[in-house]
Every structure is written in structure tokens, then in C-alpha cells.
Amino acid sequence: MSEPLVIVFLIYQGVTQLDFTGPLQFLRRMPGAEIIVASIGGADIASEGLHFTQLQRLEKINRCDVLCVPGGSGCAQALEDADFMRQIRRLGQQARYLTSVCTGSLILAAAGLLQGKRAACHWSMRDSLALFGAIPSSARVERDGNVISGGGVTAGIDFALALIAELHGEETAQMIQLYLEYAPAPPFAGGTPELTPPHILAKVQAQMADGLRLRREQVAQIAAQP
């Protein structure tokens, strides 16, 4: 019997839950997959009113085939956590696939794992990837060698289907898509700056302005450290 494909989701305080619960829901249906959700010390993680418990200790995981890093409001704090970043590098250097959703790509990039690689990210922080030597991509799902990244939040489901197709073929991916009735038909046009009506975009940008400025400055300071 062949060994399972080990997929590790590394989560942290302030992670966006849909960034990993979305792809997890799809990937767990993939044949031969072992899904692990881990945190530093196995600590409970708070995420937008939800709490994730009984997590595995990140330090105790010896290896993985697929490393997946989600994004979230706590991304910048995760970048400053030396223990967390050390584990990202350790597992990422030997993983078969490096993957991310939303600002999780910033974490991979800050760990030195995306040098010269194209990567997707949430539109609000996409340009910050370049601070760590990665190439920002506006694609919903970007593939560059063994790096597969999804854009903001809901793109994690599309990323998961792309990974399933990579590992088991498009037919398996389409079967899982049908099982979970993934047939997105949003009630409004938008969802990206390019597709959103200008007045809606302006309102969202105004609401995000102060927090986003601070987050970008924090990430830039981290990138400037020797």
C-alpha cells in the first residue's frame, strides 16, 4: 500500500478561516490524502469568532508533501514569529508542493521560498510580495513550478481543485467539484478591483486605508531586516 499524500495546513492567530477550511473541504476528498492542521505548540487558534482546537504540534511534524499556508489579519504577526517562520522554512524546503491562499504567499515569500517565483495574493497586499523577491501575479490561481498559490480567500477552493487535477487528473477534480456542488454564481459583479464598480471600490479602499497602511509598513519593515 502506498504512503498517503501528507498535506499540512499551518495556521496562526488571526488566520482567515475560509482560507484553509475551503481548500481543506475539497482536498480531504482526494484519494490517499492525509490532512494535518498544525500550529506552534499545538496551540488553539482564534479566527474571526471561531476557535480551532486539538491541532497538531507544528514542531513535531517531520515532513509533508504539500505545505499550505493560509492568509489572514494575523499574517504580519506571523511573519514576526521566529519559531513559526523557522518551521515554515524547515517543511517548505523539502515539500513536494509549496502552496498558499491569500496573504499566505507573503509568509512563504518571507521565508525565502518564493525567490523569483510568480505568486498570487490578496489584491490589497499583492505588491508586497516583491519585497521578498517573489513576482506578484493577479491570477486567481497561479502556478510556477512546484508553487501553486490562490488569490484572496475564496480563490482557495479554485486552488484546491487545481491541485487535485495536478495530482489525480481533471476527472477526479470535476467529480469532487460535483460532490460539493461548487458552481459559483455570485449575485453581483465584482470581487476584484478590476470588476468592482468604481464607487464600491472607493468605499472599500477608504475603509481599509488605515489598517492596510499599517500592515504594509509592518511588512516592509520585516522585509528590510537583514
pLDDT along the chain (226 residues), means of 10: 89 97 97 96 95 97 97 95 97 97 98 98 97 98 98 97 97 98 95 95 96 95 91
pLDDT digits (tens, 9 = 90+) for 142-171: 999 999 999 999 999 999 999 999 999 999
Size of the chain in residues: 226
CA separation for the pair 126, 59 (Å, rounded) = 29
Whether 102 is a known active-site residue: answer: yes
Q: Can you read off the three cell numbers belonging to residue 36? A: 494535518
State the pTM of this model: 0.95
Out of 64, 68, 75, 102, the active site residue is 102
Q: Which of 63, 54, 56 is nearest to 6 (CA)?
A: 63
Q: Report the helix count and the strand count for the chain, using DSSP H and E.
A: 7, 11
